[in-house]
Amino acid sequence: MTAVDAHRAILAVWRIEQPRLITSLARMLRDVPLAEDLTQEALLAALERWPATGVPKRPGAWLMATAKHRALDHLRRDRMLARKHEIVAWDMEAEQQTMPDLDSALDDDIGDELLRLIFTACHPRLSREARAALALRMICGLTTEEIARAFLLPDATIAQRIVRAKRTLSESGLAYETPRGEEVSERLSSVLEVVYLIFNEGYTAARGEDWLRPQLCNEALRLGRVLTAIAPHEPEAHGLLALMELNASRTAARTDAAGEPILILDQNRALWDQLQIRRGMQALGRARELGGAGGFYVLQAAIIACHAQAETAGDTDWSRIAGFYAELAAVVRSPIVELNRAVAVGMAEGPQAALSIVDRLMGEPALEGYHLLPSVRGDLLHKLGRYEEARAAFEAAAALAGNKREHDMLRRRAAAAADAALSS
């Protein structure tokens, strides 16, 4: 086994054990950020020891024992500790008499503690970026370097983000708290937002040159499954999982051999992952059973489900999609949702109906500089045979597009509209 292999094998074990390590230590220490520090120390100890000794038979128990020793050291070192900590130290001393075994390790009911951990990592007091970094580190067991590579940022940026976030939690007295009842649903939205941010960060990377970017999608999906398992009565958790599963089902079909993106209507649907679609549909069904049909994520999942269920692009139920967009627009009042509704209306009822929606959006300040607005408008004008106006719209869109591929595509469409104008 090479050093790199050994390192990867250790991280693999680590990812399995880490949430339980943090939750157990957090419960003892009543401090999530501190628990996280100590489990990181246990990881470093494993990385130091295991390449020489081999991975122990019960790696989880080894890591747990090591982390607990560190916790004890920490408590002994700090003379300013409150009495609470003395009691904790006592309990732990007693516990150290017996080596923790696998069975007791499995006995911990991870559900409630894990929920607390997720809620702490995704606290609304923290920025979305800080929440994403903390969640990937504390719940998914990614290292700082891995998170940095995944977000295409320097290691130091992520490390600093994590340190600051943990300090904010400690200083605001949020190191260990349990949301209950109503608060769970409220706080959940701050968690779902972060999970979706992680998913999109991985999903919008068209090509996975670095395996860690697509890996973000997988981690987000896993977090989605975790949430539906430990908060099974929250429809939006199921809705987000459905949305992610259904979007991820198209991964293999989304790019051609050269890595160019393929739009949903042009994709080879045989490449869509049916197992994943089925799971997405199940999650969507569950969300609706729970009375969540009108939720933000559930509606978005419902829209993607219309695509997933159409055998060919021509079978797409556009009026249903337009209906879901109308409901979504009522929930979020976003001009971008309205623009998407226009596209669906255009497919369902024809370009004229869509154009009147788009024209109403033209003065919208939030869409100023958004290339998809003139791009959609150009497409509708072209379909209506108003080629000269279409050309102008595509030119305007091309000037706004930030991405070279999109820019080139819009210039080609402008040229095609100009040709059509000449020959008409």
Binding site for other proteins (CB under 8 A): 8-9, 11-13, 15-16, 19-20, 57-60, 102-103, 106-107, 110-111, 114, 214-215, 217-218, 221-226, 229-230, 248-249, 251-252, 273, 276, 279
**Which residue is listed with tokens 């706004």?**
400
Nearer to other proteins, 114 or 354 (CB): 114
C-alpha separations of 76 from 66, 85, 86, 90, 216 in Å? 15, 10, 9, 11, 39
Q: How far is the CB of 201 from other proteins (least distance, A)?
A: 13
Nearer to other proteins, 218 or 309 (CB): 218
Q: How far is the CB of 264 from other proteins (least distance, A)?
A: 16
Nearer to other proteins, 27 or 383 (CB): 27
Q: How far is the CB of 148 from other proteins (least distance, A)?
A: 17
Q: How far is the CB of 258 from other proteins (least distance, A)?
A: 18
Best CA proximity match to 217, nearest among 235, 230, 204, 234? 204
Nearer to other proteins, 204 or 334 (CB): 204
For 255, phi then psi, to 5°, come to: -135, 150
Q: How far is the CB of 124 from other proteins (least distance, A)?
A: 23
Taking only Cα atoms into account, the Rg of the chain, rounded to an integer number of angstroms, comes to 25
Query: How far is the C-alpha of 67 from the C-alpha of 60, rounded, in Å?
Result: 10
Nearer to other proteins, 71 or 142 (CB): 142
- Cβ-Cβ contacts under 8 Å for 249 (sequence gap 6 or more): 272, 273, 274, 276, 277, 280, 308
Nearer to other proteins, 11 or 331 (CB): 11
Helix (H, G, I), strand (E, B) or coil at 261: strand
Residues making up the chain, counted from first to last: 424
Q: How far is the CB of 134 from other proteins (least distance, A)?
A: 17
**Which residue is listed with tokens 């501190």?**
34
**DSSP per-residue string spanning 226-258:** HHHHHSTT-HHHHHHHHHHHHHHTTGGGSB-TT
Q: How far is the CB of 188 from other proteins (least distance, A)?
A: 16
C-alpha separations of 42 from 13, 62, 146, 254 in Å? 12, 9, 18, 40
C-alpha separations of 215 from 20, 151, 198, 207, 222 in Å? 21, 11, 10, 12, 10
Nearer to other proteins, 242 or 367 (CB): 242
Q: How far is the CB of 391 from other proteins (least distance, A)?
A: 39
Nearer to other proteins, 30 or 58 (CB): 58
Nearer to other proteins, 23 or 120 (CB): 23
Burial of 353 (C-beta count, 10 Å sphere; 0-12/13-18/19+): middle
Tell me the two tokens of residue 26.
Answer: 């957090």
Q: How far is the CB of 394 from other proteins (least distance, A)?
A: 33
Nearer to other proteins, 254 or 386 (CB): 254
**Displacement of CA 242 from its chain's centroid (Å):** 12
Helix (H, G, I), strand (E, B) or coil at 419: helix
Query: In DSSP terms, which residues pair with 255 in a beta bridge?
Result: 261
Q: Residue 26 in contact with residue 32, Cβ under 8 Å?
A: yes
Nearer to other proteins, 56 or 335 (CB): 56
Q: How far is the CB of 251 from other proteins (least distance, A)?
A: 5
Q: How far is the CB of 199 from other proteins (least distance, A)?
A: 9
Best CA proximity match to 216, nearest among 189, 191, 248, 185? 248
